[in-house]
Structure 1
């Protein structure tokens, strides 16, 4: 993409489904987004259009100077945009486990499984898809939260925390005790992630290193 999307194209991008990235717009708008690499046309009927990872980045971009890191991986990302965001741990509202939040999380997880079905080459839902590889922290956090695990509050507490790492395609998952850590590991493995348990050299705290499984 050599130039930013037009106002009309931006409205189409902003209105995309928050999890699957499914787009609605005129044929001309959708064709233009495909031409600029912001969308793709699914090869199977009904041939819907979806955001590419580049299109997701455009939608998630916050106006202003770059922050030096992916906004989607920061705690609380999306909280002010009205778009669903899985809790990575550390958010002010992380303790909210009311019925509305539970419905949001379960709906987002169902949407992500559908996205896997539509975008994985073999239609498999047993492993992460391209969107998850482009949004590692959010994807791992959604899998963990959808399984019923509690995220940590802003002061830490008894919940999980999902954070990015310098390693490609890997996230770190921290928990306050061994039982919670192993429960999160089992959840991620069931969701199609490869998981290993490691020890932080300085503090000796145990944590998980998780990567999306490819096959």
Structure 2
């Protein structure tokens, strides 16, 4: 069983890139995380360090803070999350969000290149298969599709009982076709289906492996 990281190691893990899991720290810190099975050193230059699946799980585990003895400091900036659609509040858009989405998508392509043995960027990587909804939503948002939010029509990405598959809903056939084209271009296998009870059409998308 992997031992819990120290406070210093936890800070390094928490500061990892939210999409790629790339780490920044001293050689001693990074080596210690590798020994604990929480990180790996990529064999190709520049030999960056990345979180392993166990390291990602540690980063996603919420640590309960102690009771504060003084007023807490202002919270740090939130971790990037793609819009999955279906929110009540309007989505905040603008140049800053566009830059965040572009940076996250480029980071994901780099993660594909670094983690596929052939360096391919045209198909999803292990991180995407472990974060299906976020990965599919990022591909859609990065391509400029608007999510459903605040009463405005758009896509919605939802988990499904099927392994390695997400459902993508849209307000009309045109939206679904556009989303299908985007996901196929991003390395996903996509099929269109009909809900038996409602007759509504939706997409079922799975990460392509080859």
Q: With the length of structure 2 as denominator, give the TM-score of the two structures.
A: 0.89
Change (3 A) 1:94 1:32: farther
1:135-150 equivalences under 5 Å are 135-150=131-146
Equivalent residue number for residue 203 of structure 1: 198
Q: CA deviation at 1:95?
A: 2.4
Q: CA deviation at 1:201?
A: 1.0
Change (3 A) 1:111 1:174: same
- Please report the RMSD computed on the Cα atoms of aligned residues, expressed in angstroms: 1.7
Alignment partners' CA distance in 2, 1:121 and 1:50: 15
Question: Between Structure 1 and Structure 2, whose CA radius of gyration is higher?
Answer: 2
Change (3 A) 1:208 1:10: same
CA contact (8 A) 2:12 2:24 kept: yes
CA contact (8 A) 1:173 1:209 kept: yes
Aligned length: 199
1:157-172 equivalences under 5 Å are 157-172=152-167
Bigger drift between 36-45 and 6-15 goes to 36-45
Change (3 A) 1:123 1:63: same
Q: CA deviation at 1:81?
A: 6.0
Alignment partners' CA distance in 1, 2:57 and 2:89: 24
Any unmatched runs of 5+ in structure 1?
65-79
Equivalent residue number for residue 182 of structure 1: 177
Q: CA deviation at 1:16?
A: 0.9
Alignment partners' CA distance in 1, 2:90 and 2:61: 23
Q: CA deviation at 1:3?
A: 2.7
Change (3 A) 1:172 1:94: farther
Equivalent residue number for residue 32 of structure 1: 32
Any unmatched runs of 5+ in structure 2?
65-75
Q: With the length of structure 1 as denominator, give the TM-score of the two structures.
A: 0.87
